[in-house]
Amino acid sequence: MNDFFVVFAIATLASFLTYLGAPLAERFDVPHRVTSAALQFAAGIITALVALSLMPPAVRGGPPVAIAVMFFIGGAIYVTFEYYSAQKMTARAAETGSNVTSIGLYVGILIDLVIDGIVIGIGATLTVMTGLLLALGMAISTLPLAFVTTSTAKRQGVSPRHRRLLSAAYFLCVLVGAMVGFLLLRDAPLGLRFALIALASGFLITTVTQSMIPEANKEGEPSFAGILYLAGLSIYAILTFTIK
């Protein structure tokens, strides 16, 4: 029971830090160049999280072939979702207006936050410190993600009421995902947990390559903006070295 409250506190911290991106976006009107930088930074954090915290224990502790297959399946799930949602939203936009296309972005972000939470919960089933490290790393990436999503909603004319609901969803997606991951999987076989970590890793890294970085560069920002990607990688690496 003590572990439950510790994990709940960790998940609440990650959820709150994620939520902070929304009021920041409501307070400040920023150009696309700033949101591009935030996306680059978040993408770097997620890449480092997968490379340094998620995949190494999965590769060492799980069946190698199964881990590789699950990683592929995770990425394939995102590609499939992105492909069909883009087709559907494009068709609806042609009939009702361009703002409809934004729905795919919001749904994708919220699904990503749920998966982030589940990863925190699974990490906490391994050790509490692993859960804390993942929570901090996820929060550093999801705060700018919430900021970017809210800023996009403002630019597209989404009403303040719906933006407040979206902000609440940021908090709940991470918190509920973390607690579900912890409660359902804490007694699961270690091999299953490693397989699910590989699945989530494939989904997350594909989100970076197929969505976040292309969105950050869609208006032709100079390649120097990639320094923020490297900053995200480096900051998470420092976290992994200092939090044991």
Q: Which residue has the higher pLDDT, 89 or 13?
A: 13
pLDDT score, position 243: 67
What's the mean pLDDT in 96-120? 69
pLDDT score, position 198: 93
Q: Rounded to an integer, what distance in angstroms lies between the CA atom of residue 131 and that of residue 76?
A: 26
Q: Judging by beta carbons within 10 Å of its beta carbon (0-12, 13-18, 19+), is residue 70 exposed, middle or buried? A: buried
pLDDT at residue 67 is higher than 90: yes
Polymer length in residues for the chain = 244
The whole-chain average pLDDT of the chain stands at 83
pTM: 0.79
Q: What is the pLDDT of residues 223-244, one digit of tens each?
A: 667 788 999 899 888 888 876 5
pLDDT score, position 91: 64
